Amino acid sequence: MNDKIEIKERLRLLTVIREEALLRQRDIYPREEKVDTWPNLLVKELIALLIFTIVLVVWSLVQDAPLEELANPGLTPKEAKAPWYFVGLQELLVYFDPWIAGVVFPTIILVGLALIPYLDPDPIKGVGRYAIGKRKFATFCFIFGFTMWFALVAVGQYFRGPGWNFYLPWESWDSPKEVEVALTNFPLVAGIAFLACYYILGLGIPAVTFQNFFWRLGLIRYHITMILLMTMMLVPVKILLRQVFHIRYIVQTPWFNI
């Protein structure tokens, strides 16, 4: 084969523009060493493809997809569980009414996630590397939520039996669980006061203590960020209130309960 490049198509070159010139002004671009996609990236992709195809095949050889009896609306099974990735939300039903656990929280999670890039006030810190120490607050918030989601999934999946009672994974589901301890509610006024204080102090104290942080985010970012954070923290707070202080609702009204 000759050494000249064989170009079978006729190509017409109009102009050559440096990549950087096409990028918007405000985007910050590093000048960085580049390597050829072929073979550097493509070989890695091929290897990953092969390895994980094998993983999938082996996994499906050793584990059979479950198939139970024909669907029967008249026969409620001992335990009705959502698919595992939604079991965390189902676990939240212990602590919150369905409109919160099943509707409000998922909505807040999705909206909150989508807002992350707009709430983070720093345009460059930590980009392109695992520099967690440089973004302590951001990382804390994200990891906390991420871990909580999967912790709730684990509890719901492995520690809940009939009637959504708590069972250790090796405990037999036949041993009946004692009826739950009596739960109380906050009186209405106290409950509203509790929630109001929770949010006012949760937003107020950091604003005063960490004034740099407050001004860096600005009014709007700060409030959205902190409301999202405090709402996320409502989950552990509510778990604590229920498990330790046997409180069912913070606010109970004829229309809704929190």
Partner 1 sequence: MNIFIQMWRSLFRTGVTDSPVHRVFRVVVNFSLHLHPARVSKNGIKTTYTFCLGGLNVLFFVMTAITGGLLMIYYTPDVDKAYANMLDLENVIPFGTFLRNLHRVSAHAMVIAVSLHMLRVFLTASYKSPREFNWVIGVGLLLMTFLLSFTGYLLPWDQLSYWAVTVGTTMAENTPIVGAKGPFSVLGPEEDMRFILLGGTSIDQPTLIRFYFAHCVGLPGALVGLMALHFWRVRKAGGISRPL
Applying the rule CB under 8 A, the residues between 84 and 143 that interact with partner 1 are: 85-86, 89-90, 97-99, 101-104, 110, 113-114, 116-118, 120, 122-132, 135, 139, 142
Residue closer to partner 1 (CB basis): 123 or 218: 123
* 168 burial type by CB count under 10 A (0-12 exposed, 13-18 middle, 19+ buried): exposed
Q: Tell me: does residue 5 bind partner 1 (CB under 8 A).
A: yes
Other CB atoms within a 10 A radius of the CB of residue 50 amount to: 10
Shortest Å, Cβ 132 to partner 1: 6
Q: Tell me how far, at minimum, the Cβ of 93 lies from partner 1, in Å.
A: 9
- Residues 6 or more apart from 79 whose CB is under 8 A from it? 160, 161, 162, 163, 164
Torsions phi, psi of 78, nearest 5?
Answer: -55, -40
Q: Which is nearer to partner 1, 14 or 181 (CB)?
A: 14
Considering only residues 15 to 34 of the shown chain, the ones binding partner 1 according to CB under 8 A are 19, 23-24, 26-30, 32-34
> Are the C-beta atoms of 143 and 130 separated by less than 8 Å?
no
Q: Does 6 bind partner 1 (CB under 8 A)?
A: yes
Q: Does 188 bind partner 1 (CB under 8 A)?
A: no
CB of 3 to partner 1, least distance (A): 7
Structure token pair of residue 119: 């709430």
> What is the Cα–Cα distance from 135 to 197, expressed in whole angstroms?
28
Between 129 and 181, CB nearer to partner 1: 129
Q: Select the residue interacting with partner 1 from 21, 75, 179, 244 (CB under 8 A).
A: 75
Count of CA atoms in the C-beta half-sphere (13 A) of 112: 21
Choices 36-44, 197-205, 211-219, 229-237 (CB under 8 A): range interacting with partner 1: 36-44
Nearest residue to 195 (alpha-carbon basis) of 253, 111, 255: 253
> According to the binding rule CB under 8 A, does residue 170 interact with partner 1?
no
- Does residue 36 touch partner 1 according to CB under 8 A? yes
